[in-house]
Amino acid sequence: MRPVVVVTGGSRGIGAHLSRGFAEAGYAVELTSRDGEGARRLADELSRQGLDAVGSALDVAEPDLVQVFVEQLLQRHAQVDVLVNNAGVIEPPAPLWEAEVDAWWGVQRANVLGPFLMSRAVVPHMLAGGGGRVINLNSGSGTRADDLQSAYHASKTALARITGGLHLAGSERGIRAFDLAPGVVRTDMTEAMPQHRGRTEWTEPADVVTLALALASGELDAWSGRMVRAGTDTVESLLAAAAAGLSEQARTIGLLPYGEDDPLA
């Protein structure tokens, strides 16, 4: 029986590369897009190539729709092995005090509420099946502040806390969770971000797919609860780092003390 992967926002950009990569690796791929048209179109294309894919409409920030999607998914498959929370958006660049409220909050709905709802709906079924893996498409943006995209950066910091929470609560029961930063893949989203205007060097999509497949396989389980980055990390370098020993804080987001006498250290 094929392992089953869910890829949200799986019809375009990085999501489409991941959907195709998982399908070619032998997974049954359940990919979603907000309107459903893109997801069904890519799923049909993959199916014509003899691969296993189903495309569905899903707004990941709507609890009832997420629940229905998962119920329908489980009618097609007995288990979900991997969840890839890829769906996400950015806001128009502006200083925080000029940001449009609905646009700012919309980023949190898609990038934070969405992965929360998807994980909340899928992980119990993973637990019932003995375990599973959640891969959250994060970003180096989550490790720092930004002057023009406070919503996006805040959302990615929050996403890392979801990853960490899944790891801490689920690791003894077979759940592994990872932050996968894709580097800077050339997509409509990244080309719209001010910090990438004029960029000439981009992360290869194949590097993202390779890391995602390694995370999904269990090969990199030592990195559960941590961030890895495509285009910089390789499977080999991550395995070597894990073998040498990872500190508790390695590749996590935390507070940097100002010195040894910092009372918050």
What ranges do the domains of the chain cover? Answer: 4-244
pLDDT band at 184 (very low <50, low <70, confident <90, very high): confident
CA distance linking residue 24 with residue 5, whole number of Å: 12
The residues assigned a catalytic role are 152
pLDDT band at 240 (very low <50, low <70, confident <90, very high): very high
**Which residue in 222, 216, 218 sits closest to 238, CA to CA?**
222
Q: Output the CA angle 138-25-113, nearest 5 degrees.
A: 25
Q: In terms of pLDDT, which residue wins out, 188 or 229?
A: 229
What value does the CA radius of gyration of the chain take, rounded to a whole number of Å?
18
pLDDT averaged over every residue in the chain: 94
CA distance linking residue 26 with residue 82, whole number of Å: 13
**Interval 1-42: pLDDT, tens:** 899 999 999 999 999 999 999 999 999 999 999 999 999 999
Rounded to an integer, the average pLDDT of 227-242 is: 97
- Indicate the fold that domain 4-244 takes in CATH: Rossmann fold (3.40.50)
pTM exceeds cut of 0.85: yes
pLDDT at 191 over 60: no
Answer whether 71's CB lies under 8 Å from 82's CB.
no
Rounded to an integer, the average pLDDT of 216-234 is: 97
